[in-house]
Amino acid sequence: MELSKRHRALQHLSPPLTTSHIKSPVVYPLLRAKGSSAHPCSDVAAYAGLVPTPWRSGSIDREQGISKAGNPRLRHIMIELAWLWLRHQPGSALSGWFRARVGNERGRIRRITIVALARKLLIALWRYVTQREVPEGAVLKAA
């Protein structure tokens, strides 16, 4: 199955958001680099600037948020796609993970957790594109 058809198969994901952006110059280098590293999933997240930046000094161990060193356009797209994922794929494992972490909280905790979901979703979609591994619990459109 070709790339754009696989993206359209995921129910309710907007084809302009997934198909055109996957083929765009923002994401295409990731597809070409398939298998070029020992850790391609973490490389994908790093390219988007969605990797954690830990700080360690002696016994102090803190997280400083995400690196933001990657592609800002892709990072923005993935955060928007994460919000869409929550709305249109409520039964997926990723949506369940988000709800378990956030609960009924609003505001800052939701915004922080949506970035973590965007990273997880980027990796899940990367696996979908490269290995044809459907994200757990995702509903596919009927062919």
Residue extents of the structural domains in the chain: 3-131
Residue 71: both structure tokens together: 């592609």
Using the predicted structure, report yes or no on whether residue 33 has a pLDDT greater than 60: no
Using the predicted structure, report yes or no on whether residue 70 has a pLDDT greater than 70: yes
DSSP-H helix ranges across 1-131: 3-9, 15-22, 28-32, 40-48, 72-88, 93-102, 108-131
Q: 57 has which bridge partners?
A: 60
Assess contact for 135 and 124: CB atoms under 8 A. Answer: yes
Task: Return the percentage of the chain with pLDDT > 70, whole number.
Answer: 64
Q: 63 has which bridge partners?
A: 54
Encode pLDDT of 72-123 as tens digits: 888 888 889 999 999 999 999 999 999 999 989 899 899 889 988 998 898 8
Using the predicted structure, report yes or no on whether residue 38 has a pLDDT greater than 50: no
Give the confidence band of 15 by pLDDT, cuts at 50, 70, 90. very low
